[in-house]
Amino acid sequence: MSSEKHPAFSNVVIHIIGSSDMQNQLLSNFIREKTGSECMISQSIENVTHDLKKEMVILWDCRDQKEAELLNDIRQASLEKEKVLLFNVNKKAGFESDALQLGISGFIYKNESFSLIPKAIIAVLNKELWLSRSFMSNWIIANIKNISLSNPELKLTPKELEILKLISRGASNKEIADKLFISCNTVKTHVYNIFKKINVDSRLQAAIWAGKNLNL
C-alpha cells in the first residue's frame, strides 16, 4: 500500500487503546502514513469519543492483559456499533470465540507485521471479519453441530454457490472479485443475497452453513 491516502480511509478515524509506549507510537505513525487517517492513542476505551460524521475503528492492544480481564473489559465496553480489532493477541490464549460473541471484528497476533493492520481495517470497514483461516476452520469444526440446518430447499444460483464456497475458505470480497472477474460491488450483492437465502448474519455463519449443507 502506498503512502497516498487510500479511498477506504477518506472518512475514518482510528483509535489505539493501550499505553503510549514506543510500539504504539510507531504503530500510530505507521497508520497515519499508510492511510492518511487520524490515529489517536487512548489509555482506555472510556476516553474515546465518537465523531458521528466519521467511521471509527478501534485497535485494542492486548499486551499484558489476562484473558478473563480482557473479556470483562470488552463486555463492559458494550461494543454494538464500534468496529474493533484486537492486536498483540497471544495465539495460545484461545479466547477468540468469546471475543467474537462480544462484538470483536478480528484479531492480529503477536509478531505479525504492521502491514496487516491497514488491510484488517479495510476488511472491517467492509463489514467483514478479520480471522485467520486456521481459526475459521477450527471454529467451524467445533461449532458445526450447534448450527441449525437451514431449509435444504433453498436454491442458490451456481454463482452464489461458487461465492459461498470461497467465503467458506476465508476469501475476502476483493479476492472473490479477482478470482471470478467481477466487481466488488457485484460480490457484495451476491453475498447479501446468499445471507438472506440461508438466514445468516455473518461470513463465519455462512461458512458454517456451507460446511454443513454443501459437504465442503
Q: Quick one: CA torsion of 195, 196, 200, 206, rounded to 10 degrees? A: -30
Radius of gyration of the chain from Cα atoms?
18
The pLDDT profile of the chain, 216 residues, written as one tens digit per residue, is 444 456 677 789 999 999 999 999 999 999 999 888 889 999 888 888 777 778 899 999 999 888 888 888 888 887 766 789 999 999 888 888 888 888 898 999 998 998 999 999 998 888 888 988 888 877 776 665 555 445 544 678 889 999 998 888 888 899 999 999 999 999 999 999 999 888 888 888 888 888 777 765
Of the candidates 17, 12, 22, 26, the one whose C-alpha atom is nearest the C-alpha of residue 56 is 12
Determine the length of the chain.
216
Nearby residues of 41 by Cβ (< 8 Å), 6 or more positions away: 15, 16, 18, 20, 24, 25, 28
Contacts 24+ apart (CB under 8 A), 139-143: 139/96, 139/97, 139/204, 139/208, 140/168, 140/204, 140/207, 140/208, 140/211, 142/97, 143/97, 143/208
The full set of domains in the chain, from first to last, is 7-130 (3.40.50.2300), 143-213 (1.10.10.10)
Please tell me whether the overall predicted TM-score, pTM, comes out greater than 0.75 for this model: no
Q: How far apart are CA 114 and CA 164, in angstroms?
A: 30
- Retrieve residue 114's grid coordinates: 504492521
Q: How far apart are CA 119 and CA 132, in angstroms?
A: 13
Q: How far apart are CA 73 and CA 28, in angstroms?
A: 22
